Amino acid sequence: MDHIKHIFFDLDHTLWDFKKNSSLTFKFLLEKYNIPVNLEIFLEIYMPINFSLWKLYRDEKISKEYLRHNRLKSAFEKLNMDISADIIDKMADDYVTHLPDHNFLVKDTLLVLDYLVNNYELHIITNGFTEVQKKKITNSNLDKYFSCIIDSETVGVKKPNSKVFEYALKAAGATQKESLMIGDNLEADIIGALNAGFSAIHFNNNNEPTHSHCKIITNLKSLNSIL
């Protein structure tokens, strides 16, 4: 990959350990609001609901406000728990406020970034909310590695929309040929990047099916031998 000069990373599940940090945030919130449910049971119900609603949000079919409220509302309903709309709204606000308080990174993130930053311009393209993603990056001391941080809320559309990748190229002063996208989501990160003319490496840490779209890795450290 001698032609690559710019590397664009996804953030959540790729560098920032969303699963662990989200679990810690919900542990705090369930205790704060005295909601009598086991954390593991709650997460088992909540996570697939959040995943499906995020896909609808990514596809521009629901609003941010609908996503934030209804992922909690639907989870509590499935658990047969009567939680008021007011409490759900407060929890939803608290969740995005306190999520960046926890900043565990995916294994080998710093090792890989320390290696790559000397040879490439590094950037982030994320579908998360602007205010939350900026706090995650700052609080976890990742900001020093990245020249450009592009979030979908600022662009106005979300990965895999090609406009996000076009915006990122312009912001970074990069060309398609010299740009590589690394992310965990096949549809949003990999297919989106390839359709926009980027090269791509799929960090498949979600047990997604194998494919032939691009090179697949299962641990970040593998990047040090590829790049």
- For residue 210, give every residue at least 6 positions away whose Cβ sits within 8 Å of its Cβ, in sequence order, or none: 204, 216
d(CA 134, CA 67): 20
The distance from CA 38 to its chain's CA centroid, rounded to whole angstroms, is: 25
Tokens of 39: 């954390």
Query: Does residue 160 have a cis bond before it (omega within 30 degrees)?
Result: yes
Active site residues: 10
Euclidean distance between CA atoms 72 and 116, whole angstroms: 38
Q: Is the dihedral of CA 40, 42, 45, 46 positive or negative?
A: negative
